[in-house]
Each structure stands twice: as structure tokens, then as C-alpha cells.
Structure 1
Amino acid sequence: MAIEQTAQISLLDALYCEEEKWNDVVEDTNDDETHLTLPPSLLEQDLFWDDHELHSLFSKEAQAHPNPTLSLPRKESVDWILKTNSHYAFSPLTAILAVNFLDRFLCTLTANDNDSQPWMMQLAAVTCLSLAAKVEETHVPLLLDLQVEDTKYVFESKTIQRMELLVLSSLQWRMNPVTPVSFLDHIIRRLGLKSYIHWEFLTTCETLLLSVASDPRYTLYLPSVLATAAMLHVIHRLEPRRAAEYESQLLGVLKNNKEEVNECYEVIREVHSISNTGLSFHGCNNGLKRKIFQVQDGEILSDSSSICKKARAEQQQSLSPLSAN
């Protein structure tokens, strides 16, 4: 009996954090919180640690290529996602996930779909943010309350729920994709930075990515390239004299194509310099009169049928070489 009690006490002890370390971090934060500095060697920690995780990220990352004719509707949808994400103080990852879901869903649509059903893009944006919030957030508003920002239509909850099933089906229920944040988190954890530097650097990179998410060129690059370019942009602002050294180290670990990273870097710098207004969007409905917009079951169900058929056809086509063997 005594042995069991001792084992339980040892197990519980392992769950307690050491408060001295926490106090050290807090004290350091007060000294340096106004200035974010990077370590002498950006990757001085063992960046060959757990390469298996990095290889796994590379193997799962993918690009989404929405129809170019949907660039303007996409921009409007992403802008709405970012505004609403900020309104509810959702995490940056929630917005990044919502944009990922939207881009992947748009790959199943055509310009004709948007022209014949002009409400589809807005419904898709609401749905993708709803799904992302359910994945990442602990508190999610009601579906009707989620539509607080500038919207031409307001959809009933049951309409959004049916659309959620359509989006989930078209994405083959893959709701944990590799995003630029996946690579940011991996690299920053390997830096071994103090917690406040860790989070400030991560937050700065995430904010930068959100500022360019609505640009159609955002979909041209793999998540690893976007993450690398964003980190380099932040590094150039923090340590311009050692930016080339850090760039070499990052490219060596992530093994990105330097030209592609530089191209993405220029896109980020261009878009960021144009906007440069931050992402503190707040609700302003401009006096628009909105009404609940009802979508007939048949309209969504017909889209669901065609998209599911397309997904099944593509899946069968990808599996056919394997069955031939």
C-alpha cells in the first residue's frame, strides 16, 4: 500500500511545474520586452533534432490552386474571414486554417458556379471560418452571430450546417492540414528561445502571413516557402546585418529553393508595404440592411452531388495505377 502511495506521489510530482523557472522568465520579460532580439546564431540549437517531424511536414504539405477567375471573390472572402477572426479575437491559426479550407474548397468550384450562385462564396467563407473555429477555438459563437461583419447575405444556421457537410466532403474530411504556421512552430521550437521571444517572433510572423493571405499570389507557394519568407522578412527587420547568415541557415534546414523563397519574400514585402495598416479590424456594417438569406436544400444538395462525384472520380483515377499493379 505504501509503495502504491509513493508511486502516486511521484507521478503527481511529475505534473507540477517549477515556479522558479517561471519567475525567471517573467523577470527577463520585464527587462527585454520592448526589444525582440535573436540569439547569436539563429539556429545554434541542434536543428537536426527530430528531423522525422520535419520530413513528415514536407510530405504532407500541398498547394491549392483555385480558379484564377475567382481571385476577386476569393479576396473578398478572405478579407471577411480576417475581419471576423479579429472581431472575435480568434487565434491567427484559426484564420490561416479557414483560408486553407476555403482555397481547397475553391479548387472544386468554377467561375460559372459563382456567377450562377453569387451567394456561394460568402456562404463558403462563413462555413470555412466556422469549421476552423471549431477545430482551434474553445469558445465558438452561434452560426448566426458569426456573421457580424460586412455581409450581403445572412444565412440560417441549418444552411451553414449543410454547407459544412459539403465542404467537409470536398476536403475529404482532412481538417488538420500542413500550413505555414506548422513550419513556424517547428523552427521556433528548435531555436530554444525564451518563451516571450518565442511568442513574439511567432506572432509577428503570423501577423505578416495574415496580411498577405488575401493576395492571389498567396496560393502560388508551398506552406514551407511562405513560412521561410515570412521569417526572413521579420529577421531583416530585427537583425538586418546578419540577415544573410540567418537566411543561409534557414534554407539549409528547410531546403527550400532560394529563388522561390526570394520571390515569395518580395511578394510579402510588396503587399505588406502597401497595406501596412495592421489587422485590427472592427465591425462596421456601413448601415447595410441585411436579411436572413434562405438557400433551398436542392441548391446545396445538387452542388454536393456534383462535387462528391468529382472527388470520387479523382480518387479512383489516383488509385488506378495501384490496382493495375
Structure 2
Amino acid sequence: MHTGGNFGFQFQTVYLSVTYFDGFLSKRSIDDGKLWAIRLLSVACLSLAAKMEECKVPALSEFQVQDYNFESKVIQRMELLVLNTLEWKLGSITPFAYLHYFINKFCAESRPKGLFSDAIRLIVAMAKEIDLIDTRPSIIAAAAVLAASDGQLTRKMLELKMSVVSFLQSQENYEMVERKDKTPPKFSISPSVLAIHSSSMDVLENSVGTKRRLTFSDSDHSCPTKKNHKP
């Protein structure tokens, strides 16, 4: 079981942590082969998101990931690096803030059973497939509601529904709705919603580009030792 699954954080927290992760990697890069640094970054982003969204935040010593042990001071240094990289702008608006609005707009007359939970599931799933930095939260929310309400939407039907909301771009939304077909059918957000966070980090590892390298003055010394597993 992924360590984060024990916390029972809100889905907003998970999504926000992936947003921080994406934002960091859009400005910095991590050298190939430094899996421990990717894990450390995911822990720092999750911790920061928890501080923004959760009423009760676990101690840093509790934020451990599979195969690695990170000291609290090492996590703190990574948190500070994330904060500086993001220019301390952590108050991101998430797609969840738009869900009720779009459900009322698109499904006022007929609301499918489980629409809200299905839309949430799709939003969290899409976080693994898209660039959260370049995609507006409102677009993600609208696409999730439309996909959850009717999986057989054609472009014409989509444009008709979109016409009630003038600020949305039909082309962008249609592409987002099409991503629903790529969403694994077994995807679930409960009870351990944070399991999604770890799998998202695995997918995002491949997004590292030729950006400013992640450096620590003592990074090599801070590299944690892997846990020894009994046979």
C-alpha cells in the first residue's frame, strides 16, 4: 500500500500536489536516474498541498514513500525549493471549484446518478494525462462533467451544450472529453485516494525536459538509503 493512502486526504489535496509537481518540473529538471529525488519532490509537494487544504497535517516524519526514508530536514529543504521555484504561489484554483456550476449548466433537467463522483474520478484521472499548467481548471471541470453525463457526445452535441457557457472553447473541451476513452475503467478514488498521487508521480517522471536542473548544495549527501526488504 502506498504510504500516502493512510492519510485519507481530500481529492483537492491530491490534485493540488500534482499541480505543484507539474509546476516545479516546468521550471526545473531532475537528472535521469535520481529516482530518490523524484520521490522526495512528490513528498514535498504532497506536504505543501496538505498544509494548504487539510485541517490536520501529518508530521513530516510520517511522509515516507515506498523504498525510501527521508529525514524531516531534507523534506523541509525540498519544500523550500518548491516554494521558491513556484514563487510562493500555492493558491491554485482547482477544477473541483467549478463542478457544481457546470453540473447545473449542463444537467439542470436530467442529472445522471453518481454524476458528481464520476466527474471527480475523471478529473483526478486526467491529472495523469494532461499538462495541468497549460490547461485551465474550468476546461478540465467542464470536460469531466460532460464526459461523466454522456459518454456518447458528438462534436455537434458538445457545441450545443457549450453554447450556454460563452467563455469555453469547444475545440479544447472536445479534446478533453475524448481523453475519457483513455481513462482506465478500474480507476477509483476511494478509500485510499492518495494511491493516485503515487501513480501520477510515476507518469510524470517521463515529463522531465531540458529545464534548469534541480540542485542541492549537499544533494548527494542527502540521498536516502533504500530500505532493506527481507526475502
User: Common fold, TM-score beyond 0.5?
Assistant: yes
The one of 217, 221, 228 aligned to 2:142: 228
Q: What residue in structure 2 maps to residue 253 of structure 1?
A: 165
Q: What residue in structure 2 maps to residue 214 of structure 1?
A: 128
Pair 1:265 & 2:174 matched = no
Q: Flag the structure with more relative contact order, 1 or 2, with Cα contacts below 8 A and sequence separation at least 6.
A: 2
Q: What residue in structure 1 maps to residue 198 of structure 2?
A: none
**Equivalences for 1:284-303 in 2 at 5 Å?**
298-299=217-218
Structure with greater helix share of residues:
1
Distance 1:229 1:129 in 2: 25
Higher Rg: 1
Distance 2:133 2:32 in 1: 22
Q: Deviations over 1:30-57 (max 9, x none)?
A: xxxxxxxxxxxxxxxxxxxxxxxxxxxx
Deviation at 1:115, TM superposition (A): 2.1
The one of 67, 92, 98 aligned to 2:11: 92
Pair 1:139 & 2:56 matched = yes
Tell me the C-alpha RMSD between the 2 structures: 3.6
Deviation at 1:279, TM superposition (A): 3.2
Deviation at 1:161, TM superposition (A): 1.0
TM-score (norm 1): 0.51
- SS of alignment partner, residue 134 of structure 1: helix
Distance 1:208 1:190 in 2: 18
Deviation at 1:176, TM superposition (A): 0.9
Q: Name the % identity.
A: 30
Conserved 8 A contact 1:226-1:264: yes
Deviation at 1:233, TM superposition (A): 0.8
Count of aligned positions: 197
- SS of alignment partner, residue 253 of structure 1: coil
**Structure 1: which 5+ residue stretches go unaligned?**
1-79, 285-295, 301-325
1:100–1:185 CA distance, 2 compared to 1 (3 A): farther
Conserved 8 A contact 1:212-1:218: no
Pair 1:178 & 2:93 matched = yes
Distance 1:202 1:167 in 2: 32
TM-score (norm 2): 0.69
Deviation at 1:223, TM superposition (A): 1.9
Conserved 8 A contact 2:22-2:132: no
Deviation at 1:186, TM superposition (A): 4.3
Deviation at 1:85, TM superposition (A): 5.0
Q: Deviations over 1:170-226 (max 9, x none)?
A: 111111112222322544577998xxx8xx543331221112322256666332221
- SS of alignment partner, residue 80 of structure 2: helix
Deviation at 1:281, TM superposition (A): 6.8
**Structure 2: which 5+ residue stretches go unaligned?**
196-214, 220-231
- SS of alignment partner, residue 90 of structure 1: coil
Q: Which amino acid aligns with 2:44?
A: T
Conserved 8 A contact 1:232-1:247: no
Q: Which amino acid aligns with 1:114?
A: D
1:85–1:253 CA distance, 2 compared to 1 (3 A): farther
The one of 77, 90, 93 aligned to 1:162: 77
